[in-house]
Structure 1
Amino acid sequence: MRLRQSILGLRASWRKFVALFLVGVGLSVTVASCAGGNQTAGGGANGGGNVELTLVSYAVTRAAYEKIIPQFTQQWQQEHNQNVTFNQSYGGSGSQARAVIDGLEADVVALALALDTERIEEAGLIQSGWETEAPNNAIVHKSVAALVTRDGNPKNVQNWADLARDDVSVITANPKTSGGARWNFLALWGSVTQTGGNDDQALELTRNVYQNAPVLPRDAREATDVFFKQGQGDVLINYENEMILAGLNNQNLPYVVPEVNISIDNPIAVVDTNVDKHGTREVAEAFVEFLFTPEAQREFARVGFRPVDPTVAEEVAQQYPQIDTLFTAQDMGGWDQIQQRFFDDGAIFDQIQAGIRR
């Protein structure tokens, strides 16, 4: 990529990545009626007939579920003599949570962050304690944050502190409107507080980084568009799994995974009100359990997610850069405290924005 021809090739690769990303984020597939009028009630183990499940997830998981769902349906049919078909909907995690609250009758939700799942719980559709009803506290796969740079990393960006330099322009979505962007904010803040720094130092770093953000797009899709299509910014805060998936599609983009990082934990949950309405609890819970098997975990790993199954994690360890300090949302107080402290109206993020000179 040192010659002009190589640079042109990288630009074409960026364009392909943007197209892939936009298709993934915007996709919403409904294979059959979400109401499932012809499903076999109960999803019973001895039933025969057909059962329909509706899976609602966020965009970049689609490639994994395309491989996992046929494995599960084949196993269920062999063990229970019953056909399972899936309605699938993919889109931005926050938008998907809103859709379920507004009436999309998901049996299972697999979203980007627990806060989105908790919103569905608050709407009365998921019973409290859902985190304990699946293995690994219902975290089905993980990722970490990545810093996407321009070709050759001309600003030599290696870590979070580099994003606060005067000569670096940063593209990230607005954490007030983007659930995924909240991971970005927490990664910045935690890179200080989880390595011995105090809140004042974390505030200074985070404020300086957002000072370097010329715009705050509404969501990750718009942020990616601003960086790739509009050419703004030196660095885009994105996610390791998306960069790995882009590489698997021959779109090798330059990126750095900081050695101090946040574990981007992605939860799974059964939507209790809907499975009881549809009579699909048994098969929905079995599907969730299947996602934690080595077979399913390998499919998540193949598209860039960090698996939670220890055996599979060891198998694919060389696929991922080593993280020296890995912290979690729980280490920062859990999502209820995080939301109140950082993202509610008048909280720390709003205070940072109020003091930024544009």
Structure 2
Amino acid sequence: MVSWRRFRIWFSLFLLAVGLSGLTAACQFQATLPDGRPAEVNLTLASFAVSKKAHEAIMPLFAAQWEREHQQKVRFRTTYGPSGRQSRAVIDGLEADIVHLSLGLDIDRIAKAGLVRADWSSQAPHNSIVTTSVCALITREGNPKNLQTWQDLLREDITFVTADPKTSGAARWNFLALWGSITQTGGTPEQAQQFVTEAFRHVAALPRDGREATDAFLKQGQGDALINYENEVILARQKGQTLSYTIPPVNILIENPIALVDKYVDKHGTREVAQAYIDFLYTPQAQEIFAQYGFRPVDATVLAAHQQEFPPVPTLFTVADLGGWDKVQAQFFANGALFDQIQQENRAS
């Protein structure tokens, strides 16, 4: 009898809780502005890992501006991780409204899956590039071996660490920096292949991704140098790490694109606010925040104000100068392409 009474009390409380939660959900669902718009809108951003701190600083500023101008709250849901993994997650069903990734190839993949319009790169300023960087040569403290250029990596007493271009988007930029250091200074593709083949004979470790490469160099003591993004070095310094680095004078402009995920902004009804956030990222205010977190701004005025942190690179080329991502992927990184051939040749020698 007692147990039955307890059960009835418990069941009544359970029904009350369900009713309250349903009422709360209904109230939230029905919360609208006088013009019928929802009082709150949720935006989901999928971005590459090192952009996290910058977006966390920019989002509250945008949300405050949007609420002032539109009387509507914006809540952000975010996911950060390796660029290639983020693109695969969106293709596999992660309903991101916006993607900010480390290379255009990853957004191209999303477009080929039918989630992003094919001409995405023409939908925002600077070909939809919102942040940039260059490749840095990180050395042991004080640069004891005086490493200044990519050619220095071929010296007999030098080994270096880079992530594997087959598994790491960041490492593809590293490979292209080495390749372009020859072809963009008058060398032939044959000379570039010879140079890059020899360079990879000097690799002390070829980890899976940029984070593992950094650990191999800093924590495990492998190699005399590490190739990584300039913005990663600046961010590490802000966290208190003492790193010596140089920016080789022939370098590639690392371009980080942004795009609406058209299928999902239309499904969620968030196209207007998502586009507004992208537009906000190009404002001097947001570009200044990107600069503070180590990214080279695409806003020329903001970049000029940070010349001390971001010294001009005498010879700076882009992936477009190498033929664009489709050509680069097929030529260098596809199965059986040039990088695989280089690795096979080095293993055989």
TM-score by length of 2: 0.89
Match among 179, 188, 193 for residue 198 of structure 1: 188
Match of 2:66 in 1: 76
1:334 aligns with 2:324: yes
Please say if 1:317 is aligned against 2:307: yes
1:244 aligns to what?
234
1:118 equivalent in alignment to 2:118:
no
Choose 327-336 or 208-217, whichever is displaced more.
208-217
**Native 8 Å contact 1:39 1:52 kept in 2:** no
Quote the Cα distance in structure 2 between the aligned partners of 1:48 and 1:42. 4
CA deviation string 1:36-74 (max 9, x = no partner): x96799999972510000001011111111110001000
1:165-176 mapped onto 2 (5 Å cutoff): 165-176=155-166
Q: d(CA) in 1 for partners of 2:31 and 2:143?
A: 56
The residue type equivalent to 1:293 in the other structure is T
Distance 1:166 1:183 in 2: 24
- Compared CA separation, residues 139 and 206, structure 1 to 2 (3 A): same
Choose which of 270, 294, 317 in structure 1 pairs with 2:284.
294
Cα contact 1:47–1:81 (8 A) shared by 2: no
Which digits, 9 at most, give the CA deviation of each residue in 1:236-255, with x for residues without a partner?
Answer: 10111111122222223111
The alpha-carbon deviation at position 268 of structure 1 amounts to 0.4
Amino acid aligned to 2:120: W
What residue in structure 1 maps to residue 15 of structure 2? none
Q: Residues 255 and 219 of structure 1: is their aligned pair in 2 closer, same or farther, counting only changes over 3 Å?
A: same
Which 10-residue stretch deviates more, 214-223 or 142-151? 214-223
Distance in 2 between the 1:178 and 1:42 partners? 45
| Structure 2, unpaired ranges of 5+ | 1-25
**Once structures 1 and 2 are overlaid, which stretch shifts more, 332-341 or 210-219?**
210-219
Quick check: 1:174–1:219 contact (8 Å CA) kept in 2?
yes
Q: Per-residue deviation at 1:215? A: 2.8
Q: Does 1:89 align with 2:79?
A: yes
Larger Rg: 2
Change (3 A) 1:355 1:52: same
Match of 2:173 among 164, 178, 183: 183
Whether the aligned pair in 1 keeps the contact of 2:33 and 2:39 (CA below 8 Å) is no
| 8 Å Cα contact 2:170/2:228 also seen in 1 | no
Larger deviation, residues 188-197 vs 310-319: 310-319
- Contact persistence 1:244–1:303 (CA under 8 A): yes
Pick closer, same or farther for the CA change 1:101–1:45 going to 2, 3 Å. farther
C-alpha distance in 2, partners of 1:279/1:98? 23
What are the Cα deviations for residues 320-339 of structure 1, in whole angstroms up to 9, with x where unaligned?
12210000000000000000
1:219 corresponds to which residue?
Answer: 209
The 5-angstrom pairing of residues 297-308 of structure 1 reads 297-308=287-298
Residue identity matched to 2:189: D
- Note closer, same or farther for the CA distance 1:45–1:123 as it changes in structure 2 (3 Å cut): farther
Matches within 5 A, 1:13-28: none
Q: Is 1:108 paired with 2:70?
A: no
RMSD of the TM alignment (CA)? 2.1
Shift of 1:223: 0.8
Aligned with 2:53 (options 58, 63, 69): 63
- Structure 1 residues 115-124 or 80-89, which shifts more? 115-124
Residues 1:278 and 2:238 are matched in the alignment: no
Give % identity.
57
Which residue number in structure 1 is paired with residue 18 of structure 2?
Answer: none
1:181 aligned partner, one-letter code:
A
TM-score, L = length of structure 1: 0.86
Alignment partners' CA distance in 2, 1:226 and 1:43: 54
May I ask how many residue pairs the two structures share in their alignment?
A: 323
Q: Structure 1's 41 and 105: CA in aligned 2 closer, same or farther, altered over 3 A?
A: farther
Q: Does 1:157 align with 2:150?
A: no
SS at match of 1:180: helix
In 2, Cα distance between equivalents of 1:319 and 1:215: 29
DSSP 3-state at the match of 2:308: helix
Q: Match of 1:316, as an amino acid?
A: H
